[in-house]
Amino acid sequence: MASEPARAQPLQIFTPVRRAWGLWLKLSWPPAERFSPVARFVKAPLKRLRFIHFAHWSLLTHMPPRGGTRLPYPYVVFSTTFNGDVNAYIDAFSILIPWRMRLLWQGAFHFPGPEPLGRFRRFITERVVPTEHFHCAYPQASVKMILGALELEEELGRLRREAPGMDDAEFARRWRQLLGRSGAVL
Amino acid sequence: MSRHVAYTVMAPVRAGERDGLARAIEALGPSDGSPLTAIPGLHMGRVTLIERLEDPRGATAPALGPYLFVVVDADPPEAAVVEGLARACAPLFARCEGCPDTDDRRALATWLADHRIKDSWTIMPYAEHSLPEVERALALRERFGRFAAAEALNPGAAGLRDRFLAEFGAG
């Protein structure tokens, strides 16, 4: 298993943005992170993609970040771990959530917009800083597998609780339902 | 209380230490034996050497690099994450500007807090699940797959319910 290529891939980019844009991000991120209806609305399409393990956006303005010297530009720091091909990952952001990409990077220097795809892909890939060392506790598990396994665990638990009260026919029906639902995650 | 700790550290590399840091990162070895596993409940971790941050207006700004960049995603409590991070990456932090004696864990924790970049916006679809929960679910998924495959060889066989309960236990 260890010799197989890891499914999870890390990626990070550091993008200088105009100072006014940094202010916009500072004001707009808290409600998009903490105010549930907004957070759900903004994040739902990304979560539905089921290929992002973790994605973090933050703004770096000083070095050291706390109490340090102000940098000449604020930097959007984007670090993520995802499954699959990097180009497909970037294209998915462009195609599915173009306006959210604008809300994040419109004020970045040289930002070409989320479309056309090729230019946005180049904007990201040219700024990728290679990862020197990476560890994942479950390297062979995709996000889809993990979310599917967590859902399956709930369903199996429900069936275990209810099974003693079922006759064979009822159990067989529920088993087929479970197989049908879980087929995609196996 | 949050079920997830994302801890990102970015620190300037001390003058003359860039090559030594690169060697120290290389010495962390392959992912399987990563010292980052000293962090309890670690889902994922990475270490990166940033040679230079992009300067969109040319070389007028002071040097923007090199930096050490470390990101970990782990289970709480945060204090245990910081302690594990300090233990795992002490040889790396020691090559950064202003890093105290790495044996002085309290001073190192303060230094790490000063160099922490706090998340502003995140996507973490299973962050409410701890590492043991994720590992348990993945193991159960494997067991379920094997059980379903065995049952598929003999569809409609009597006693499915009893075999299911024997395999997965009654609730």
Residue A126 DSSP SS3: coil
Range ranked top by mean pLDDT from A6-15, B18-27, B30-39:
B18-27
CB contact under 8 A, A134 and B160: no
| Per-residue model confidence as pLDDT tens digits over B36-56 | 999 999 999 999 999 999 998
CB contact under 8 A, A54 and B53: no
- Here the tokens at position A184 are 């995609």
Can you tell me the distance from the alpha carbon of B38 to that of B54, in angstroms, rounded to the nearest whole number? 33
CA–CA min distance B99, chain A (Å): 11
HSE-up of B21 (CA within 13 Å, CB side)? 27
Look up the CATH architecture of domain B5-114: 2-Layer Sandwich (3.30)
- Check: CB of residue A134 under 8 Å from CB of residue A45: no
| Per-residue model confidence as pLDDT tens digits over A118-138 | 999 999 999 999 999 999 999
What are the structural domain ranges in chain B?
Answer: 5-114, 131-168
| Relative orientation angle of helices A86-96 and A98-105, to the nearest 10 degrees | 100
- Check: CB of residue A59 under 8 Å from CB of residue A25: yes
The answer, yes or no, to whether ipTM is higher than 0.95 is no
CB contact under 8 A, A163 and B120: no
Which of B76, B84, B46 has the alpha carbon at shortest distance from A56?
B46
- Polymer length of chain A: 186
Check CB contact of B6 with chain A, cutoff 8 Å: yes
Check CB contact of A172 with chain B, cutoff 8 Å: yes
A180 by Cβ neighbours in 10 Å (0-12 / 13-18 / 19+) ranks as exposed
* Interface mutation vs chain B, best among A60, A134, A152, most B CBs within 10 Å: A134
Residues 6+ apart with CB under 8 A from B39: B45, B72, B74, B80, B81, B84, B85, B88
CB contact under 8 A, B125 and A47: yes
Which of B11, B31, B158 is nearest residue A139 as measured by Cβ atoms? B31
Q: How many CB pairs under 8 A join A and B?
A: 238
